[in-house]
Structure 1
Amino acid sequence: MRRKGERGGAGQDPEAVLDLLYGTPPADFVARREELAAAAKAAGRAEDARRIRAARRPTLAAWAANLLLRSRPEESERFLELGRALREAYQTLDADGIKALNEQRRTVVSALTGQAAALAQEAGHRLADAARQDVDTTLRAVLADQDAADQWATGRLESALTPPSAFPQTTGASPEPAGRRAAPPPPKTPPKDELADRRRKREQETEQRAQAARAQAELARARKAAEAAQRRLRDRRAAHAQTDEQRRQAREHYDEAHRQVSDLERELQRARDELRKAERAHRTAEERHRTAADALTEAEREAREAARTVEELR
């Protein structure tokens, strides 16, 4: 669980800073760590700076497991609750019940491993087969071991976790081989006590069945959540492909419109050149017209004068 900073403000809370740091992909972890440590030191928080610099870069698988916890908080909490229920049920079930739980446990872990790989892929980091196997191993450890569950719940794993060879057996007795149960001792109690023992045994069996039912219900919810996550991933991929096609079509439309504008601008420039030529020709024609009109007026005047002269000579 995250703790509130003593100095107030998310930017000065060392726990929040470490959470932020462990959400950084491994390739950028060291640079981000130095940046955050330098900021803490510049703010006068030398102890926080030392804590930040002491943080170790997580492996890619550990980062993916941390990413799953942060990105799917509700599913992760159900997964932790499922681990607690499974560890309790594992102490009381027989060989057939344990086998069924193991099969269901593998299904849930496989689904969550797929989610972690998908989240890492969305963040730009593809998990190789070895890294996926490390995530799978870590999640199996979370189900089997309380200490591993507590480590994963911090969201600051530095390396993959290793599960125990089997779930813990009933406390106070030596572990038995998987799939076998110790034979009950011969009855040494009187018939009345034997009836009480049988009644207690039936009550225990009823409680065992109830625990197994709760575990199966948790498994069903986890599978349903995993399927929903896969559907969301498919929907997002389809939406991304659709928007990519729309972007391509819009780019083609933009390029075509740009070409048309360029052509129209060239046509407009040519039309303007022709207009300027026409204006010059019009001005020249106007000047010639005025010159001709003046010459005509002068010729008419000379003709009138000549006509008067002739008339006078007559």
Structure 2
Amino acid sequence: MDFDTAADRLYGVPPSEFTATRKRLAGELSREDARRLTALRRPTVSAWAVNHLLRDGGVESLLGLGERMREAWSSGGDVGELERERGRLVDGLVRRARELAKEADRPLNEAQSREVEDTLQAAIADPSAAEAVRAGRLEHPLSHTGFGPLGAVAPSVTHRRKKAEPKEGEPKEARGKRPTREEDSRVRARRLAEEARAAAERAEEAEHSIAQWESERDAAREAVAAADRRLEELRRQVKAAEAERAEAGRHEQVAQREYDRAARTAEDARRHAEEADARRRAGEADARRRA
């Protein structure tokens, strides 16, 4: 198995199974690929729902619509019918995402459903978001400010801005008037959006740090477990060696005792043999004298 196959499998499981699956798949990879896999972060529920929706086969039509809409935005063409198609597609896909999540025993709440919708809208407007969705490995939901692609303004927004601009010949006071309440609201909304994005980035960094340290912790735990197993094996070996030594010591004592007995027996036998030989020689000598 290679890294891409493992990553695709990993982001296809529910978030509750992500950590266990990541650990299992990492064990089937090379050391470098395993390190890359363990650095991947668990997706939020809404991001998982979009990944699941992609695997269900319902997103390609939306991504194709996004390409047509971005082309129309860039060329200034009519996007009215495309906008209506977008509404129908997004609504249908959000419903399908909720169905799939419910079938997986992880139903989406309203906030998570909105995040799924925001991600699908971003995939229509932004090519990079579209590629992220097509990859099927989202870790968090996506969002896009405005109605057109990045750096572009939808025709309806342009029209409102032109109406708000002072007409030629209006007094300078009209040109330099204070922002309206609606403009203040938009400024606050943009500021809150920036703060939310900054908070999301900090949360993402924290999750990345958690994933890295989780990997380090798991590796350390495995090393400790391996050391414990080795230590237990060594303890068994020491215990067995001690038993062997005790048995050898007992055998040594028996052997020494038998050796000592054999040595005494041999000494007695030599002495008796010497005495018998002396008596034999004495008898022979006496016999010769008598002859």
TM-score, scaled relative to structure 2: 0.51
User: Does the CA-based 8 Å contact 2:7-2:37 persist in structure 1?
Assistant: yes
Post-superposition shift, 1:161?
A: 0.4
- Is 1:144 aligned to 2:144, yes or no? no
Q: Could you tell me which residue of structure 2 aligns to residue 29 of structure 1?
A: 18
* Structure 1 Cα separation of the partners of residues 11 and 161 of structure 2: 46
- Is 1:91 aligned to 2:80, yes or no? no
- Is 1:57 aligned to 2:42, yes or no? yes
Structure 2, unmatched stretches of 5+, are: 163-291
* Structure 2 Cα separation of the partners of residues 26 and 170 of structure 1: 34
Give 3-state SS (helix, strand or coil) of 1:178's partner: helix
Q: Could you tell me which residue of structure 2 aligns to residue 122 of structure 1?
A: 103
Give the one of 2, 11, 20 matched to 1:13: 2
Structure 1, unmatched stretches of 5+, are: 1-11, 184-314
Q: Once the two structures are superposed, what CA deviation does each residue of 1:119-174 show, in whole Å capped at 9, x if it has no partner?
A: 11112211111111110000000011101001011000000000231203898xx9
- Spell out the pairing of 1:246-285 with structure 2 (5 A cutoff): none
* Structure 2 Cα separation of the partners of residues 131 and 104 of structure 1: 23
User: Does the CA-based 8 Å contact 1:64-1:135 persist in structure 2?
Assistant: yes
Give 3-state SS (helix, strand or coil) of 2:28's partner: helix
**Amino acid of the structure 1 residue aligned with 2:20:** A
- Is 1:161 aligned to 2:142, yes or no? yes
Give 3-state SS (helix, strand or coil) of 1:115's partner: helix
* Structure 2 Cα separation of the partners of residues 170 and 29 of structure 1: 36
User: Does the CA-based 8 Å contact 2:125-2:150 persist in structure 1?
Assistant: no
Q: Once the two structures are superposed, what CA deviation does each residue of 1:174-217 show, in whole Å capped at 9, x if it has no partner?
A: 9876252999xxxxxxxxxxxxxxxxxxxxxxxxxxxxxxxxxx
**Amino acid of the structure 2 residue aligned with 1:52:** L
Q: Could you tell me which residue of structure 1 aligns to residue 114 of structure 2?
A: 133
Give 3-state SS (helix, strand or coil) of 1:158's partner: coil
Change (3 A) 1:53 1:80: same
User: Does the CA-based 8 Å contact 1:98-1:179 persist in structure 2?
Assistant: no
**Amino acid of the structure 1 residue aligned with 2:36:** R
- Is 1:38 aligned to 2:27, yes or no? yes
Q: Once the two structures are superposed, what CA deviation does each residue of 1:29-57 show, in whole Å capped at 9, x if it has no partner?
A: 111111211332xxxx1001101101100
User: Does the CA-based 8 Å contact 2:146-2:154 persist in structure 1?
Assistant: no
User: Does the CA-based 8 Å contact 1:135-1:160 persist in structure 2?
Assistant: yes
**Amino acid of the structure 2 residue aligned with 1:66:** N
User: Does the CA-based 8 Å contact 1:113-1:132 persist in structure 2?
Assistant: yes
* Structure 2 Cα separation of the partners of residues 51 and 13 of structure 1: 11
Change (3 A) 1:86 1:60: same
**Amino acid of the structure 2 residue aligned with 1:178:** V
User: Does the CA-based 8 Å contact 2:73-2:154 persist in structure 1?
Assistant: no
Change (3 A) 1:170 1:121: closer
User: Does the CA-based 8 Å contact 1:176-1:182 persist in structure 2?
Assistant: no
RMSD: 2.6
Change (3 A) 1:119 1:15: same
* Structure 2 Cα separation of the partners of residues 113 and 175 of structure 1: 23
Post-superposition shift, 1:89?
A: 1.4
User: Does the CA-based 8 Å contact 1:144-1:164 persist in structure 2?
Assistant: no
Change (3 A) 1:136 1:177: closer
**Amino acid of the structure 2 residue aligned with 1:139:** L
Post-superposition shift, 1:99?
A: 5.0
* Structure 1 Cα separation of the partners of residues 154 and 97 of structure 2: 34
Percent of pairs with identical residues: 38
Change (3 A) 1:16 1:123: same
User: Does the CA-based 8 Å contact 2:73-2:148 persist in structure 1?
Assistant: yes
